[in-house]
Structure 1
Amino acid sequence: MKQVKIRRWQLLRWRRHREVADLRGEEIVAVGKRAFTDQAELEEVLFPPTLSAVKTAAFAGCAHLHRVVFDVQNAVGLAANAFADCGYLREVTGSELLSVIGAGAFARCRNLRALPLGRDLRRIDTGAFAGCSSLEELKIPSCVETIGEGAFADCCELSHVDLEEGLTVLGVGMFRRAIALAVPALPETIREIPSECFRGCSAFDVLRLPGSIRALGSGAFRDCRRLTEVTAELGLADVGAFAFLGCRDLAVVRLPHSVKKIGFGAFGFGWSRKKIRVLADNEYMLKKLRRMLLLCGSLGRVSVEFDGKTLAERRRERHRRSLDSAPTHIS
């Protein structure tokens, strides 16, 4: 069997059992499926400028691989599990040129602390960084169009995420069990928090939902145990089932009069001595909120209160403004 096999500009096999795979002298555009899989001796990979794709599981299970260099001229796509289970991987140079990060591409790379993402990135697939337990910070550029389920699930050291203004999508279960994550600033371009997006983010404390967000998916903030206060601005219409179930420290929720639906068990079930104060922003909303919370099974866990100006106060304010704006005639 040949140690190295290249066909039609694709590296199909590498079995040289060396610590460094320097591919810069090779005229290849792709690294083939499982080309380096389980190469225990491999510690460093240097890619050629012509590279455009790393295929499925190409470097999966390379237990001692700790450095990867993309010295390329064009955008590069990573297929599923491209670097999965590379437990020692710490440095990825040139990651700004990645255009696609496939499902599980960096899954369980437990020593990876940071991975800069650039303007060419369009897609982050399912579980792309799942289990990267040393990943500490992240910036997701606005050019990303698709984010798969659980893309950053179980990243237990991830503490800071910068969601760039202009980003329009988040993924289902995107930050599930990211237990160190602080509440990120949500861009005004986000329309929905998908199901279980922030489930188990137990470092969350005070949450503000901008008016651009129309819906919270099922279990969106479930089990955020230290979450104490939620303020949703005018625009939110749908609170999904189990959205805040298991948020044991939740004390205050401010809901706007734009809310039209509250899903099953959104704030838990049954009766509780410790009530969550659900605050309505106008008097007409009080009865509507109580009915929605009764139907979803959460009424026994909340107290619905009015938090705003009464109708009479608003009328007086309007009258005062009209007087202030009226022209004054001096004879």
Structure 2
Amino acid sequence: MKRVYFTLTLMSLFGGLNAFAQTYTTINGVKYGLMQDNETCIVIGDDGATGDITFENEVTINGGKHTVTGVCGSWDYSDQVIGQTKGFSGNVNITSITFAPGSQITWIGDHAFKNCEGLKTINGVPDGLNTIKDWCFEGTGLEHVDLSNTAITIINEGAFYNNKSLTSVNLPNGLKEFKNKAFQGCTSLNDIVMPSKVETICNYVFEGCSSLSNVTLNEDCTTLGDHVFKNCPLTSFTFPSTLSSIKEYAFEGSRLTSADLSKTKLQYLPNGCFYNCKDLKEVKLPSTLTTPNSGNWVEADDNMYGKHAFEKTAIKSIDLTNTQLISLGDYMFAECKSLQTVKLPSTLKYIWNHAFCNSNIASITLPPSLQKIDEWAFQNTQLENVVIPTSTGQIGEGAFGDNANLTTVYINGVKCYLAVNAFANCGNLKDVYITSNREPVADYYIKPFENDNNHTVHVVPNYLESFKGLNTTFNTTNFDSNFSLTLGKEWTTFTSAYNLDFSGYEDLTAYTATYNDKKDAVALTPVKKVKAGTGLILNGVKGGTYTLSILASNADGLEAVTDNQLVDCVDAVWSTGRKNDYFLSNGKFVKSDNDGWALPGKSFLYIEGGRTNKSESPLRVYVDNTATAINGITNNPVVKDEAYYNLQGVKVQRPQHGVFIHNGKKVVLK
């Protein structure tokens, strides 16, 4: 059986050779041949072709006329075109291609004109052309290609790869997809208008097109591949609403100044999508944007998105609050030297390593959903104050290291593990507030601050001795149970994660607030010893600094606050009430116009059901439930009244020593 099989194979092979060898002809250096069916006729390839070559519409072989339907490439009909030239690859003497009028050629094979460096033009491209195979025109000298009237729906892989003289392309109206590297390295290509049916632009398609500054992307396009516009000097780009996927490093090194993705359907932010876009200043992201939620840190780390996404851009600020992002990837905003503010979403759980390192970010509100801040995440930024949310369980090594402007850190978490050197080399750090009402592992909260010698650690008095007993020979850290407060305004909102005593100052008063629907006004009630997590309004000296005693959780005299409608912000609180949320602004309560973060350490007024008369005017304010001359808490008198009132709103005929209301302002008579 083996011997018979071998004989049949040889007969078949030689039969194929003889059949093809007798069925071809050459015209002006172009070889044409018949396939085994003795009907299909194609251009086999080169037989000394030079200059302008023409593909005939019809040729005569063995006395019969045959219509030419294709141009052979390296791997086309490999079982039939044995021993014959296949394509024109490497022929540097060809200068142009002309398809004869009425040409019926429908396809051009793979690598057919690869490295034909002298090929400049293609003339008379037939309307019936539907396929240009992989790497067909790689490395040619083509300057312009008009495919607009062809039936091509796919530009195949590497079809025009590395055509350095190609300046423009007219694409087919029915084009749906660009395969990988279709125009990669076309350094003279400067303009692309996408036909209306394009759906997918795959990986590396326009990478290295160093003259491509303008791309008009059609609606209906859904996918942009990896590195698709890498190192293209794009200055503008319109992202269609149908776009649902952008792959890694798609716009790396572009010259975009803005990127509005807000109308797209993107779900995931790809790694490096705008990496090293040094002119990019503004980005808008869609509300559909999210990241996979694996449920634990290890798995989340394996499924990160957004690594290097905006690294080395010129973004000044970015608002992520409308997104559903769960994590910020490695180096996502690293080296953003113009970045000052970032608004984070309420869904965020993880900030991964180096996410903001070496950026100029000056302020950030960390959401209460945050569980982990990875190593070096905020290294060497411009942050001045940091509030670590209650639910944050881990802060990695060097997470806030080398922050020269950092002065104050609040750690609200009851079980927050801080890695060694988490806040190291922050030379201006003065105050670290550890608010836990459970006994913390004191050692966790000291080693992270090594190499800094001047800060004070403020703790609940119950655990003060635990901290004082630590071996802290590496620095001169102080420990106490005091809270330092500086008022930026005469009237301000406030919330603390500590129990605090306000009774030590005559010129500082803490109030709770209740809305009176009958009077359509807010009544303020003074309080002294206040439980942690109580929303307050403070009145004191603008710019004044007050040192308040932190009280133990079981301290005597802590007031049970009732009917307080101030929402406490120990951590940041996402406000969506709009009609029901009121914020203190310029000394008056005003309605919230937009969703947004209420900052940690502040409070805001929530009126369930809204105001009685639905008025848009600022709310009137009463002190201690009694009307006074104050018509709203403001730095300027609203009502001119020379009389003096005590803090209960009672008019005083002959005021002497004490604190009084005069012309709408609090005054102290000595």
TM-score interval (norm. to shorter): 0.7 to 0.9
How many angstroms does 1:185 deviate by?
0.9
Q: What is the TM-score normalised by the length of structure 2?
A: 0.43
How many angstroms does 1:253 deviate by?
0.9
Kindly indicate whether the alpha-carbon contact (under 8 Å) linking 2:258 and 2:283 is maintained by their aligned counterparts in 1. Answer: yes
How many angstroms does 1:279 deviate by?
2.7
Cα shift readout 1:125-181 (whole Å, capped 9, x = no counterpart): 2111010001011133343343321111111x2111111112111121101111x11
Q: Distance in 2 between matches of 1:69 and 1:32?
A: 18
Deviating runs (4+, > 6 A) in structure 1? 282-285, 302-305
Name the aligned partner's letter for residue 309 of structure 1: A
In the alignment, is residue 36 of structure 1 matched against residue 96 of structure 2?
no
Name the aligned partner's letter for residue 78 of structure 1: I
In the alignment, is residue 114 of structure 1 matched against residue 215 of structure 2?
no
- Correspondence for 2:447: none
Kindly indicate whether the alpha-carbon contact (under 8 Å) linking 1:262 and 1:293 is maintained by their aligned counterparts in 2. Answer: no
Instruction: State the secondary structure of the residue aligned to 2:610.
Output: helix
In the alignment, is residue 3 of structure 1 matched against residue 30 of structure 2?
yes
Cα shift readout 1:61-90 (whole Å, capped 9, x = no counterpart): 113x10101143534312221111111111
- Correspondence for 2:278: 202
- Correspondence for 2:364: 278
Which range moves more in the overlay, 142-151 or 129-138? 142-151
- Correspondence for 1:295: 396
Instruction: State the secondary structure of the residue aligned to 2:365.
Output: strand
In the alignment, is residue 252 of structure 1 matched against residue 341 of structure 2?
yes
* Cα RMSD (Å): 3.1
- Mark the runs of 5 or more structure 1 residues left unpaired by the alignment: 327-331
Kindly indicate whether the alpha-carbon contact (under 8 Å) linking 1:141 and 1:167 is maintained by their aligned counterparts in 2. Answer: no
Kindly indicate whether the alpha-carbon contact (under 8 Å) linking 1:264 and 1:297 is maintained by their aligned counterparts in 2. Answer: no
How many angstroms does 1:204 deviate by?
1.2
Q: Distance in 2 between matches of 1:292 and 1:208?
A: 30
- Correspondence for 2:315: 227
Instruction: State the secondary structure of the residue aligned to 2:612.
Output: helix
- Correspondence for 1:329: none
Cα shift readout 1:166-199 (whole Å, capped 9, x = no counterpart): 2111121101111x11222102412222011110
Q: Distance in 2 between matches of 1:88 and 1:265?
A: 41
Cα shift readout 1:282-325 (whole Å, capped 9, x = no counterpart): 7787533994783385434597896843674241xx34714236
In structure 1, which of residues 24, 48, 53 is the aligned counterpart of residue 126 of structure 2?
Answer: 48
Q: Distance in 1 between matches of 2:172 and 2:309?
A: 30
In structure 2, which of residues 257, 260, 265 is the aligned counterpart of residue 182 of structure 1?
Answer: 257
Q: Distance in 2 between matches of 1:62 and 1:221?
A: 36
Cα shift readout 1:97-128 (whole Å, capped 9, x = no counterpart): 32221211111111111111123223222111
Pair 206,294 (structure 1): closer, same or farther in 2 beyond 3 Å: farther
Q: Distance in 2 between matches of 1:88 and 1:120?
A: 27
In the alignment, is residue 60 of structure 1 matched against residue 87 of structure 2?
no
Q: Distance in 1 between matches of 2:181 and 2:228?
A: 8
Which range moves more in the overlay, 100-109 or 206-215? 206-215
Pair 138,4 (structure 1): closer, same or farther in 2 beyond 3 Å: farther
Pair 148,209 (structure 1): closer, same or farther in 2 beyond 3 Å: closer
Name the aligned partner's letter for residue 287 of structure 1: I
Q: Distance in 2 between matches of 1:309 and 1:68?
A: 58
Cα shift readout 1:28-59 (whole Å, capped 9, x = no counterpart): 22110111112222211242111112111111
- Correspondence for 1:323: 612
In structure 1, which of residues 189, 205, 218 is the aligned counterpart of residue 307 of structure 2?
Answer: 218
Pair 66,284 (structure 1): closer, same or farther in 2 beyond 3 Å: closer
In structure 2, which of residues 598, 605, 628 is the aligned counterpart of residue 309 of structure 1?
Answer: 598
**Where do 1:151-170 residues align within 5 Å?**
151-155=228-232, 157-170=233-246
In the alignment, is residue 137 of structure 1 matched against residue 214 of structure 2?
yes
Cα shift readout 1:241-274 (whole Å, capped 9, x = no counterpart): 22111212221111122212222221127xx9x6
Name the aligned partner's letter for residue 256 of structure 1: P
Which range moves more in the overlay, 129-138 or 31-40? 31-40
Instruction: State the secondary structure of the residue aligned to 1:138.
Output: strand
- Correspondence for 1:243: 332
Q: Distance in 2 between matches of 1:240 and 1:70?
A: 42
Q: Distance in 2 between matches of 1:293 and 1:230?
A: 25
Pair 292,136 (structure 1): closer, same or farther in 2 beyond 3 Å: farther
Q: Distance in 1 between matches of 2:110 and 2:70?
A: 10
Q: Distance in 1 between matches of 2:148 and 2:120?
A: 17
More helix by share: 1
Kindly indicate whether the alpha-carbon contact (under 8 Å) linking 2:149 and 2:172 is maintained by their aligned counterparts in 1. Answer: no
Q: Distance in 2 between matches of 1:264 and 1:320?
A: 44
Kindly indicate whether the alpha-carbon contact (under 8 Å) linking 1:267 and 1:298 is maintained by their aligned counterparts in 2. Answer: no
Kindly indicate whether the alpha-carbon contact (under 8 Å) linking 2:143 and 2:168 is maintained by their aligned counterparts in 1. Answer: yes
**Where do 1:62-81 residues align within 5 Å?**
62-63=140-141, 65-81=142-158
- Correspondence for 2:97: 21
Pair 298,230 (structure 1): closer, same or farther in 2 beyond 3 Å: farther
Kindly indicate whether the alpha-carbon contact (under 8 Å) linking 1:95 and 1:117 is maintained by their aligned counterparts in 2. Answer: no
Q: What is the TM-score normalised by the length of structure 1?
A: 0.83
- Mark the runs of 5 or more structure 2 residues left unpaired by the alignment: 1-25, 33-41, 44-67, 73-86, 292-304, 371-386, 410-570, 573-595, 616-670
Structure scoring higher RCO (CA < 8 A, sep ≥ 6) equals 1
Instruction: State the secondary structure of the residue aligned to 1:62.
Output: coil
- Correspondence for 1:262: 351
Q: Distance in 1 between matches of 2:154 and 2:208?
A: 21
Q: Distance in 2 between matches of 1:177 and 1:78?
A: 25
More strand by share: 2
Instruction: State the secondary structure of the residue aligned to 2:395.
Output: helix
Computing the radius of gyration from Cα coordinates, the structure with the larger value is 2
Pair 174,323 (structure 1): closer, same or farther in 2 beyond 3 Å: same
Cα shift readout 1:188-243 (whole Å, capped 9, x = no counterpart): 4122220111100110123333322214521111121x222111123332211221
